Amino acid sequence: MPRIKGTHTAMKSGMLAADAIVDALAAGRANDELTSYQSGYENSWIYSELRMVRNILPLVEKYGNFWGTMLSGINMWLENFGVRMPFTMKHHADHNALRRKDHVHKIDYPKPDGVISFDRLSSVFLSNTNHAEDQPVHLQVKDSELQLSSELNIFAGPSTRYCPAGVYEWIEEEGKEPQYQINSQNCVHCKTCDIKDPNQNINWVVPEGGGGPNYPNM
């Protein structure tokens, strides 16, 4: 099985980026692109492991859970023994999988029971997330009108559900236009909004240093 783990991958990717920055500064290219990052990535275990699993999701989506999983297992087994698949299946961007609200039925989710399921703010508290309140908001909405006309009116505000930290809220008051509220203090830097927004209208940028989740018991 590949050893792909989110934390290890992020750490290694950060180390590769740091190495590329050092190379650029040493060469006097302070305002240039990090040209050595791509080659460093392609020569790392991150690249080899991500390449090994690149067809798993497209196979499952195309052939279903049973046959897709079987074919994915065979694909990974062969690649693990050096038999590299000569193709990479195409797959849709994640935000393209969202459905309009008029094409689906509303789901009434049960309230968290505090035993198996938990409310989001309690989980955010455990992450020890913190951002300085006077720093610029690192979650940028490019077009507020588009967010209202499409994200809310067409897709029923999915950001209020897919965000695991309760960062996004649509504040609706009688007689007033709905207002989009961003509680950036809660952000755990998962970047789901950057990936899942139906119009790619939310841009996650790096916040000021030291801000974000800090899991003290891990």
CATH of the domain at 178: 3.30.70.20
Residues 198 and 100 in one domain: yes
Structure confidence at residue 38 (pLDDT): 83
* 36 touches 23 (CB < 8 A): yes
| pLDDT tier, 8 (very low <50, low <70, confident <90, very high otherwise) | low
Number of domains making up the chain: 2
Any long-range contacts for 60-69 (C-beta under 8 Å, 24+ apart)? 61/91, 62/89
User: What is the spatial distance between Cα 209 and Cα 113, in angstroms, rounded to a whole number?
Assistant: 36
Asked whether residue 51 falls in the same domain as residue 101, the answer is no
Among 191, 216, 5, residue whose Cα is nearest residue 95: 191
- Would you state the pLDDT for residue 2? 39
In this structure, are 35 and 86 located in the same domain? yes
User: Do residues 55 and 13 both lie within one domain?
Assistant: yes
Whether the predicted pLDDT of 7 surpasses 60:
no
For residues 6 and 88, the model is more confident at 88
* pLDDT above 90: residue 149: yes
For the segment 57-96, what is each residue's pLDDT rounded down to a tens digit?
Answer: 899 989 999 999 999 999 888 888 888 878 888 888 889 9
The set of residues, in sequence order, having a beta carbon less than 8 Å from that of 176 and lying 6+ positions away, is none
Q: Which two tokens stand for residue 205?
A: 């940028």
Do residues 126 and 79 both lie within one domain? no
Q: Is residue 210 part of a domain?
A: no
* 1 falls within a domain: no
pLDDT on residue 152 = 96
- Which alpha helices (H) appear in 100-178, and where do they start and end? 120-126, 144-146, 159-162
Do 83 and 106 belong to one domain? no
- The answer to whether residue 200 sits within a structural domain is yes
Q: Is 199 exposed, middle or buried (0-12, 13-18, 19+ CB in 10 A)?
A: middle
| Beta pairing class for 139-141 and 202-204 | antiparallel
Domain for residue 105, yes or no? Answer: yes
Is it the case that residue 1 has pLDDT exceeding 50?
no
User: Residues 21, 64: one domain?
Assistant: yes
Which of 67, 92, 117 is the C-terminal boundary of a domain?
92
Same-domain pairing of 159 and 65: no
Tokens of 44: 């790392």
Q: Looking at the structure, tell me whether residues 85 and 104 fall in a common domain.
A: no
Q: pLDDT digits over 169-203, tens only?
A: 999 999 899 999 999 999 999 999 999 999 999 99
For the cut 50, the answer to whether the pLDDT of residue 3 exceeds it is no
With respect to residue 188, please indicate whether it lies within any of the assigned structural domains: yes
| 209 found inside a domain | no
Residue 109 lies in a domain: yes
The pLDDT of residue 44 is above 70: yes
pLDDT over 90, % of the chain? 42
Average pLDDT, the chain: 86
> Are residue 37 and residue 129 in the same domain, yes or no?
no
Residues 65 and 134 in one domain: no
| Last-in-domain residue among 61, 92, 123 | 92
* E-assigned strand segments in 163-212: 168-171, 179-182, 202-204
**Structural domain of residue 146, as residue ranges?**
96-204
User: What is residue 30's predicted lDDT score, i.e. its pLDDT?
Assistant: 65
Residues 165 and 118 reside in one and the same domain: yes
Q: Considering only residues 190 and 37, tell me which one the structure prediction assigns the higher pLDDT.
A: 190
Does residue 141 sit in helix, strand or coil? strand
Phi, psi of 134 (to 5 degrees): -95, 5
From 11-25, 72-86, 93-107, 126-140, the region with the lowest mean pLDDT:
11-25
Q: What is the pLDDT of residue 195?
A: 94
* Best CA proximity match to 98, nearest among 161, 44, 56: 161
Domain boundary among 54, 72, 92: 92
Sort 140 into a burial class: Cβ within 10 Å, 0-12 / 13-18 / 19+.
middle
Query: Is 25's pLDDT higher than 70?
Result: yes
Q: Which amino acid, 194? A: D
Enter the pTM of the model. Answer: 0.71
